[in-house]
């Protein structure tokens, strides 16, 4: 963890979206869930630091 603020972390997640005639609809997917792992990229909205998600976790960093 590079900074003490863990309330403003954005995570790069995989989102399933439905393809429609007009384009795509992020809300129409069969389950609408999004996926991310400890190895997903994450960005701190507070200081702008970008690193893999596990690095932001208190016990992370060793992977
Ligand atoms: Zn930060």
User: Domain spans of the chain?
Assistant: 9-56
The CA 29 to ligand 1 mean position distance, Å, reads 32
**For residue 58, what pLDDT is reported?**
66
The CA 3 to ligand 1 mean position distance, Å, reads 4
As beta bridge partners, residue 52 has 41
Q: What is the pLDDT of residues 7-61, one digit of tens each?
A: 788 999 988 888 999 998 877 777 767 889 999 999 998 889 899 998 887 654 4
The CA 15 to ligand 1 mean position distance, Å, reads 24
The model's pTM? 0.62
**For residue 26, what pLDDT is reported?**
79
Check residue 17 and report its DSSP letter: -
**In the numeric block, which tokens belong to residue 27?**
């809300």
Q: Torsion angle of alpha carbons 19, 22, 26, 14, nearest 10°?
A: 50
What stretches of the chain adopt beta strand conformation (E)?
A: 9-11, 14-15, 18-20, 23-25, 34-35, 41-44, 50-52
């Amino acid at each position: 963890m590079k900074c003490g603020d863990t309330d403003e972390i954005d995570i790069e997640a995989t989102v399933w979206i439905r393809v429609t005639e007009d384009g795509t609809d992020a809300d129409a997917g069969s389950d609408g869930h999004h996926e991310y792992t400890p190895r997903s990229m994450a960005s701190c909205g507070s200081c702008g630091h970008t690193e893999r998600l596990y690095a932001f976790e208190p016990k992370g960093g060793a992977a």
